[in-house]
Amino acid sequence: MEAPFDKIGLQQKLSKLPAWKATAFGLSIAERMLPNYVLFSRDENVVVPAVLRSALNIAWDWLQDGATTRDLLVLAEECDAAAPETEKFTSLYVSSALDAAVSVGFLLRFILDGDIQHVAEVASLARDSIDLYVQEVERFPS
């Protein structure tokens, strides 16, 4: 039996980290989620929004030098806008694409305000994406 996901416990552990380490944790997860958006876009014949890759690159740059010239809130909102409306598509990856886009927005918001809940949400969304995919592929009941 697997241990249940403990977002509160994760937040507590992440809150003990310096911001750059929490950012690196969130970035590592978001990078692994972006290919799901690519698979969704291939299935649905839509373009992967360049804003997602750009936002991740900006976050990596921020991690390296602690500064950015971009308005991160505007960029986060652009990432949110790139999230597909799940009811409009049939791809197995549509929910994962939504999670990927929203996760990048959460990560940028963490860089802005330091609220560790944003990073924990990235981890939670990644877990949700994996869980839903396994349920669909293996035909497990929800």
15: Cβ–Cβ under 8 A, 6 or more apart, which residues? 116
Rounded CA separation 95/125 (Å): 10
How far is residue 6 CA from its own chain's centroid? 18
Percent of the chain with pLDDT strictly greater than 70: 96
**Residue 5 confidence (pLDDT):** 81
Q: Confirm whether 7 is domain-assigned.
A: no
Residue 101 has pLDDT above 60, yes or no: yes
Say if 3 falls within a structural domain.
Answer: no
Q: Tell me which of 43 and 68 has the higher pLDDT.
A: 43
Number of domains in the chain: 1
In a domain, 33, yes or no: yes
Q: Which residue has the higher pLDDT, 112 or 1?
A: 112
Range of the domain at 47: 18-138
Does residue 10 form part of some domain?
no
Answer yes or no: is pLDDT of 142 > 60.
Answer: no
- pLDDT-based confidence at 27, cuts 50/70/90? very high
Q: Per-residue pLDDT averaged across 19-37, rounded? A: 96
Instruction: For tokens 């977002």, name the residue.
Output: 7
pLDDT average, residue stretch 55-77:
93
Average pLDDT value for the chain: 92
